[in-house]
Chain A
Amino acid sequence: MAEVMAEVKSSGPAGPLVTAARALRRDRVGMAALGVVLLCAVLAVCAPLIAALYGKNPTEHYGQNDPDLLSPEGLPVRPNGGISADFWFGIEPGLGRDVLTQLLYGMRTSLLIALASVAVIAVIGIVLGVTAGYLSGITDRVFGFICNVLLAFPTLLLLLALSPIIQTRFVSPGENEPAWMQFAVLIAVFSAFGWVPLAMVLRTTVRSLREREFVEAARAVGAGRRHIIFRELLPNVWAPVLVHVTLAVPGIVTAEAALSFLGVGINEPIPDWGRMISRGSEVFYDDPTYMVFPGVTILVFVLAFNLLGDAVRDAIDPRTAR
């Protein structure tokens, strides 16, 4: 975003993104949300450092090595999920891992998948949406039809069904699939369906931009299709892309957590919020604390991103302001 803004700034009077950034800076809720989002990013990046300072790692089975921590049934001995000075957020029932480091590393999993998917979605959505909007005619018809088909698919069920199918296709039975493959499959599936709404918004935007005077002027002075798309149209679609991308991140994070919750998604031992919730649901009535941490973490994370997305939208389009 900073790069784009710098570019706009250098190219003359305050562009729409600079104006929007100023509006965003005045929005207290939006700035608070941005702060939480940045904090999450810092925590995720620094997870190994924090874990080292805190003296735990997310994979070691502390509870199983120390009989004072877990009861024979696998439940934490101390109240409230085993919260103590050593284990700030308690320990996992059964395997006895540290909850805080699991959450921190789980944030890395979530953010990595969400950011990578969003990057792919942005590229596909921009290319297809701008092309369909600019070309119209038969290309546009085909585009609209494909979008309708993809939108009618039950996304979550399809994600659920496709992930294992893609995995069995590339990994021979009995073999453990490498970690990068699990990530790649999820990113591929999220991207394959996630671009549709963005592309549809951009198609509408470009359709109306195409008829505006500045495009007509460019065409009149003999600009080619390439110049019009890249130099005239693309700089004007950053705003909807930015809003869409900000709101897509929490959507993907929760979808990924939902997949893991339902039993497909990232496997052990890679820490994952959805799998923590799933494990928490098994022991919920005996150890409710264990589920509260991932549940509240997802809530705060999603809330911050949704608030930031709203703030970005309001900053870009003052008509929607509260």
Chain B
Amino acid sequence: MLSYVLRRTLQAAAVLLAITAAAFGLFYAAPSDPALIACGPKCDTAQVEAVRHSMGLDQPLVAQYVDYLGGLVTGRTINDVDGTPIECGAPCLGYSYTLHQPVTEAIADHLPVTLSLAVGALAVIVVLGVGTGLVSALRRGSRTDRMLSAFTLIGASVQIYFLGYALQYLLVYSTDLFPLPGYVPLADDPGGWAAGLLLPWLVLGFVNAAVFARLSRAQLLEVMHEGYVRTARGKGLSARRAHLKYTARGAAPPLAQLLGLEAGALFGGAFITETVFGLGGVGKLAVDAVVGNDLPTVVGTVLLAALCVVVFVAVADLVVAWLDPRVRLA
């Protein structure tokens, strides 16, 4: 197991390094002039030159990349547009000339919203996804199964930017059945925190649970009819114990992998959900940065999102290896 953990960690680190290089190359090398964008349309040539110098854009690209990586590990000092040095502590993701603060700080400001949204949505995904999957697998072909299938199919097809608004209109605006969506810090008011995020959790969870439910139904059905589960039943184990002990373990690996992927995507920022419900999380920060041409923030949020995916997928792989010895010994 230890060697597998090491191998998987190294692989994740290599992927992350490649992602920093790709993101850096794409965003700093591709557009015509980041200095001009950072400086704004009112800058004259001399000012643009000064910004270019302070951003280090007159350095060779490789040197810039090494600087950026160094900043990620140890932090670095960056010059503002007017030349004032700014201390950017590790992990430094650069300095946003639009927000006038280091990108890491900006992300840290928005992270609580994204974390709160992701944790609740994940809970909904697991409960709703595994629940519907389990019920429809146990009652395959029944009317319940068909209804749940239709339900998950709608979840897989409906779009958050439609469902979110429609539910806000029906459940909040017209009938007051749900509290107004919004974000209150958990530490200030736990009740308000949960109330404000309830509808976003349900919508984000429902839409993402659909895929999960379909996979868990298929997995459970497949494993339930495996020889070893039948043997366990045949030897007199009750259905509940056989399913808990054998079916669950056999069906879990692909579900863990899908959950890892979904968790990674959620913790990196739910762009559409945050926009629809007016929540100021990392996703909103990223969308605003894209619209406002704020490249350092865009790269920072892209890297954060990639980090989340890589880490959660790696964790899911480790869980799978722990559940299934064939994986770690391969």
**Number of contact residues on B: which range applies?**
35 or more
Q: B216 on the interface (CB 8 Å rule)?
A: no
Q: A157 contacts B302, CB within 8 Å?
A: yes
Cross-chain contact B165 with A281 (CB below 8 angstroms): yes
The answer, yes or no, to whether B55 is at the interface (CB within 8 Å) is: no
A28 at the interface (CB under 8 A from B): no
Provide the residues of chain B in CB contact with A263, threshold 8 Å: 287, 291
Q: B156 contacts the other chain (Cβ, under 8 Å)?
A: yes
Give A274 to B291 CA distance when docked, in angstroms: 16
Known interface pairs A261-B275, A299-B158; 18 further A-B residue pairs with C-beta atoms within 8 A, sorted by A's residue number = A148-B15, A152-B16, A152-B310, A153-B309, A154-B302, A156-B272, A157-B305, A160-B271, A160-B286, A161-B298, A165-B27, A257-B161, A261-B272, A262-B275, A284-B165, A285-B169, A295-B165, A298-B162
Tell me, in angstroms, the Cα distance from A274 to B14 when the chains sit together: 37
CB-based contact A291/B162 at 8 Å:
yes
The yes or no answer to B46 lying at the interface (CB within 8 A) is no
Minimum C-beta distance from A320 to chain B (A)? 7
CA distance A144 to B195 in the complex (A): 44
Interface residues of A (CB under 8 A from B): 145, 148-149, 151-154, 156-158, 160-162, 164-166, 168-169, 250, 254, 257-258, 261-264, 274, 277, 280-281, 284-285, 288, 291-292, 294-296, 298-299, 302-303, 306-307, 320, 322
Q: Are A262 and B32 in contact (CB under 8 A)?
A: no
Type the 1/0 row for B153-172, where 1 means its CB is closer than 8 Å to any CB of A.
Answer: 11011110110011011000
A-B contact pairs, 11 of them (CB 8 A): A149-B22, A152-B16, A152-B306, A160-B290, A161-B298, A161-B302, A262-B272, A262-B275, A274-B161, A299-B159, A303-B154
Q: Would A164 and B290 be within 8 Å (CB), given that A152-B15, A258-B272, A288-B169 are in contact?
A: yes
Query: Is B287 in contact with A169, judged by CB distance below 8 angstroms?
Result: no
CA distance A296 to B168 in the complex (A): 16
- Chain A residues with Cβ below 8 Å from B302 are 153-154, 157-158, 161
User: In the complex, A299 Cα to B67 Cα: how many Å?
Assistant: 47
Q: Would A152 and B19 be within 8 Å (CB), given that A157-B301, A161-B302, A303-B157 are in contact?
A: yes
Q: Are A157 and B161 in contact, CB atoms less than 8 angstroms apart?
A: no
| Cβ-defined contact, A157 with B271, below 8 A | yes
Contact among A169, A281, A307 with B276 in the assembled complex (CB-CB below 8 Å): A281
Determine if A153 and B19 form an interchain contact, defined as CB atoms under 8 angstroms apart.
yes
Q: Is the CB of B157 within 8 A of A299?
A: yes
The 8 closest A-B pairs by CB, nearest first: A295-B162, A154-B305, A303-B157, A302-B157, A152-B309, A149-B18, A152-B306, A161-B298
Smallest CB gap from B298: residue in A: A161
Contact between B157 and A250 (Cβ–Cβ < 8 Å)? yes
Measured between alpha carbons, how far is A246 from B179 in the docked complex, in Å?
A: 39
Task: Pick the contact of B31: A157, A165, A258 (CB < 8 A).
Answer: A165
* Docked CA distance A157–B264 (Å): 14
Partner of B14, one of A145, A292, A298, A303: A145
- The answer to the question of B293 belonging to the interface, with a C-beta cut-off of 8 Å to chain A, is yes
| Residue interface bits B14-45, CB-to-A below 8 A is 1, else 0 | 11101100110011001110000000000000
B9 interfacial contact with A, CB 8 Å? no
The residues in B between 291 and 316 inclusive whose CB is less than 8 angstroms from any CB of A are: 291, 293, 298, 301-302, 305-306, 309-310, 313
A307–B275 CA distance with the chains assembled, in angstroms: 29
Number of residue pairs spanning A and B whose beta carbons lie under 8 angstroms apart: 127
Contacts of B149 in A (CB 8 A): 322
* Bound CA–CA A8/B4 (angstroms): 45
Residue of A nearest to B168 (CB): A284
With A152-B313, A157-B302, A291-B165 known as contacts, the answer to whether A257 contacts B15 (CB < 8 A) is: no
A320 close to B157 (CB less than 8 A): no
Tell me, rounded to whole Å, the shortest Cβ–Cβ distance linking B214 to chain A: 9
Residues of A within 8 A of B15 (CB): 145, 148-149, 152
B310 and chain A: residue at smallest CB distance: A152
Q: Cβ of B182 < 8 Å from any Cβ of A?
A: no
Given known contacts A149-B22, A154-B302, A157-B302, A168 and B290 CB-to-CB distance under 8 angstroms? no
A277: chain B residues at CB < 8 Å are: 161-162
Q: How far is B156's CA from A262's CA once the two chains are assembled, in angstroms?
A: 20
**B31 touching A306 by the CB < 8 A rule?**
no
Query: Is B157 within 8 A of A157, CB to CB?
Result: no
Q: How far does the alpha carbon of A145 sit from the alpha carbon of B30 in the complex, in Å?
A: 23
Residues of A within 8 A of B218 (CB): 320
Please tell me if the beta carbons of B158 and A169 are within 8 angstroms of each other in the complex: no
Contact B306 A168 (CB under 8 A): no
Given A154-B305, A168-B32, answer yes or no on A298-B290 (Cβ-Cβ < 8 Å). Answer: no
Q: Which residue of B lies closest to A281 (CB)?
A: B165
A257 to chain B: which residues have CB within 8 Å?
159, 161
Q: How far is the CA of A320 from the CA of B214 in the complex (A)?
A: 11
Residues of the B chain whose Cβ atoms lie less than 8 Å from the Cβ of A284: 165, 168-169
Which chain A residue lies CB-closest to B37? A168
Which residues of A are found within 8 Å of B159, using beta-carbon distances?
Answer: 254, 257-258, 295, 298-299, 302
State A158–B27 Cα separation when bound (angstroms): 10
Q: Contacts A145-B14, A154-B302 known; A160 to B287 CB distance under 8 Å? A: yes
Contact A162–B166 (Cβ < 8 Å)? no
Are A149 and B161 in touch, CB under 8 angstroms? no
CB distance from B182 to the nearest CB of A (A): 16
- B286 engages A306 (CB within 8 Å): no
Shortest C-beta distance, A89 to chain B (Å), equals 16
Residues of chain A within 8 A of B153, CB atoms compared: 303, 306-307
Which residues of B sit under 8 angstroms from A166, Cβ to Cβ?
A: 30
Closest to B163 in A: A295
CB-nearest residue of chain A relative to B22?
A: A149
